[in-house]
Amino acid sequence: MSIDIDNELNEAQREAVLATEGPVLVIAGAGSGKTRTIVYRLAHLVEQGVDPAQILLLTFTRKAAQEMLSRAETILGRPLTGTSGGTFHSFAYATLRRNAADIGFDNGFTLMDRADSENICKEVKDALKLGKGDRSFPKKATLLDMITKSRNKELTIDAVMEREAYHLSPYLDAVTEIADGYARFKREHALVDYDDLLFLLDKLLAENEPLRNQLQARYRYIMVDEYQDTNLVQARIVKHLAGTKGNVMAVGDDAQSIYAFRGANVANILEFPKIFEGAKVIRLEQNYRSVQPILDLTNQILAGATTKFDKNLYSDLKSDVLPEVVHPLSDQTQARLVVDAVLEFQRKYMLHDIAVLFRAGYQSFPLEVALTRIGIDYQKFGGIRFHEAAHIKDVLSYLRLTLNPHDLLAWQRAMDHIKGVGPKTVTKIYQAIHTNDEKYLVKMTKKHDTLRELLNELNALRAMPPKPSAVLERILAFYQPILMEKYPDDYPKRQAGLEQLSQIAVSYSDMDQFLGDLSLDGDPDEEKRKENAVVLSTVHSAKGLEWSAVIIIDLVEDRFPSRRAMQRAEDLEEERRLMYVACTRAKQCLKLFVPSSVYNRASGMSDPTLPSPFVLELPGDVFQRVNESYGGGLERKQMQKTPGATPSPRHDYGDETASTSAASPKVDPSKLGFCKHKIFGKGKIIAQPEPNKFKVNFPGFGIKTIIGDYLELL
């Protein structure tokens, strides 16, 4: 069977398939037929007489490799017997097994799974007598996370902790000691974990020249999928196997590199042409997923990236409908407007073809409650469903007890943090409360101070007027130290979820209704995709998927981009890529929600927000602006591009945006000196192209055009 490359592939895909000799980098924009290109190249190589055993296909999931090989076999009409296709880890495991003696394992080694590794961390911790009696000491899963992140990012435990888990810094020395002990334990017992597979293979290939030459001779054609997701050690393995001039094709999209938290390093794909001499760079820019107006918007998001491969996505799929940027008055009204948008889309699409995306799992909590209230089924991916989060259940147990002191399950949950009070003791306390057994209660409260505090708090709560927001405010103050002690590993993240619960409570006046809406929930079925249930997903979990209609919420500073990302230029760049990934999931319709204020639990008021910089940069001709009116309706406002004007950051938001930052001093146009910006930091004003608009050179970010209201003179 002859492969019909001319009719089955577009020009760029054909070029990639036919470029079989030397290093090749394929920059595959979102929805551009990346898998199709790899499959046809596999088939083409074999049709040209290449022995399938000389082909190595490296992917990030076994399923992806199997699918590609299967599709190539279908095109060829015969099996690809002998082709090595699989993950980096499976390839490393097979190679190391054959050469175990060369890496110091004369009698072989045993590969551990995640549970094994966690248990060894605990064993080492106990042997070192660390954390004994300290309930705040990091749990075994957190210890392993810190160790594996340190290895994959090739950073010290100290550096990882500083960036990602600063609240654990008091335990730095202990965690470092456990990491050293964990490594020792593995060596002594001939054990290998998943990270070891890569690092041992890297070391073996670097030091064993005969083996390296042998593998280079065997695998004459190497293909690597999702190259933007490789970490440093994976990139080194590819270089060992291919040499600097080998027939290696890396396929990926620098603009979709969003897994730095796992160790992925975008520099691997950006520097591929430097690492591999004479590398040919081919761009796949024709998108087969999205209508052109969506791509016009995503191209503008990428335009602001500081380091990238230039690409311009285009599509033959036309539409007269622009993406919408919706400005709710607050994050409290956002949930209602998103539900309205889902109902609107439901007239045209099945619910499972509609997705609401967000930066962090807690951001969907108000929406989950709103959807449940009107009976719309949903399925959540990434983060924990609101009703399943342990800390939310803890707080709700106190609320439940203010209404129903006979709720035994709530008593068990409320006393869960009291050391020495197990389920049997809870039942005895419960019986004593309901039989007025004061003697037993006095005995137990003398023995357990925390029990006395809990019972006093519940009495005080029951005496309060049953206004959900006020009662919850008091509960959260009481619960804060419990939260920190009970969930020491990740309480800052859980705190954000409690803030959302507090925000939800504000819109309720009836405690029964509040608890009822929170407790009504369908049966979670996370394993398989539900038919006719709207998808709620973090952007990370949405990568590689697509829906006809996509809604992205909370596009304001500190939420998307996240607060942590605002501190380092490379983190902000990754947030931009995350925004690009989110928008390119949409096929037909895209709505971006930018709440004008967010509820502040401390003040009980809503604070004004700054729109996400990725929204502020959009020129007005790529979206339709929709504002929520004070009457609750929506007002559509078509932004028009000024003829001949170059799109620039904040160009189309004018005074409406500036009003949210009225306290910022305006820049004196006669002075083009140094200034400061909330996101980009210190910069040098180099020009004033328009009144109250300035070009500023920010180190690490480049030249940005900013409205004067957002700049402070230094």
State the binding site.
28-35
Whole-number Å distance between alpha carbons of 682 and 322: 35
Alpha-carbon distance 11 to 17, whole Å?
Answer: 10
> What one-character DSSP code corresponds to residue 667?
P
Tokens of 53: 């055993």
**624-628 and 324-327 as β-strands: parallel, antiparallel, unpaired?**
parallel
Which residues have CB under 8 Å from 206's CB, separation 6+?
A: 212, 236, 240
Kind and range of the H or E element at 711? strand 711-713
Angstrom CA distances, 698 to 285, 306, 431, 676, 679, stand at 30, 11, 66, 9, 10
Nearest to 117 by CA among 185, 174, 61: 185
How far apart CA 706 and CA 507 sit, in angstroms, is 37
In sequence order, the 6+-apart residues with CB closer than 8 A to the CB of 305 are 255, 573, 576, 577
Residue numbers belonging to the annotated binding site for ATP: 28-35
Q: CA torsion, points 217, 223, 228, 232, in degrees to nearest 10?
A: -20
Distance, in Å, from the CA atom of 709 to the CA atom of 714, rounded to the nearest integer, reads: 14
Is the CB of residue 665 less than 8 Å from the CB of residue 677? no
Strand pairing of 586-593 and 354-358? unpaired
Q: How far apart are the first and last CA of the chain?
A: 71
d(CA 663, CA 226): 45
- Burial string for 242-279 (b: 16+ CB within 10 Å, else e) reads beeebbbbbbbbbbbbbbbeebbbbebbbebeebbeeb
R_g of the chain computed on alpha carbons = 28
Report the run of H or E that residue 182 belongs to, with start and end.
helix 172-188
Closest CA to 88 of 65, 71, 122, 69: 65
On whether the CB atoms of residues 241 and 56 are closer than 8 A, the answer is yes
According to DSSP, residue 512 is labeled: H
